[in-house]
Amino acid sequence: MQEELLQFKMKKGHTKEEGIDYEEVFPPVARIEAMRLFLAYASFMGFMVYQMDVKSAFLYGTIKKEVYVCQPSGFEDPDYPDKVYKVVKALYGLHQALRAWYETLAN
């Protein structure tokens, strides 16, 4: 599993700038107080609470904006060394990946 994640790891993610490479960051994280209230209510009512995790969640979203990436090291096209690729599906490390996954999950 780890080697699968490494193949999708985005290089130079620290060089992205807000307003140029992405418009917004979207972290849909619940506040701890909301989680405590939810769990207390579920316990009081006798509800069963389940937790889930999608290990490759960020790879399922579709990017709506145009995002381009450089060729990964070791996979450069010798005929076109300066060619870039348009991203269609989300990649780990993209600021838009979380939003794309959330929209996929919500729909």
Q: What is the model's pLDDT at position 38?
A: 94
- Give residue for tokens 């060089």: 15
Distance in angstroms (rounded) separating the CA atoms of residues 90 and 68: 11
Q: What per-residue confidence (pLDDT) applies to 65?
A: 78
SS3 85: strand
CB atoms near residue 10 (< 10 Å) = 15
Residue that has been written with the tokens 């790879």 in this structure: 59
Please report the pLDDT score of residue 22 as a whole number: 59
Q: pLDDT, tens digit, for every residue of 82-101? A: 888 888 887 777 777 777 77
Torsion angles phi and psi, residue 89, rounded to 5: -100, 155
Asked if residues 97 and 58 have their Cβ atoms less than 8 Å apart, the reply is: yes
Q: Where are the domains of the chain?
A: 2-28+54-106
Above pLDDT 70, what percent of the chain? 74
> What would the two tokens of residue 10 be?
């985005």
Lowest-pLDDT choice from 7-11, 12-16, 41-45: 7-11
Residue range 65-84: mean pLDDT, rounded:
84
User: Quick one: pLDDT at residue 1?
Assistant: 47
pLDDT at 37 over 70: yes
Q: What percent of the chain has pLDDT over 90?
A: 17
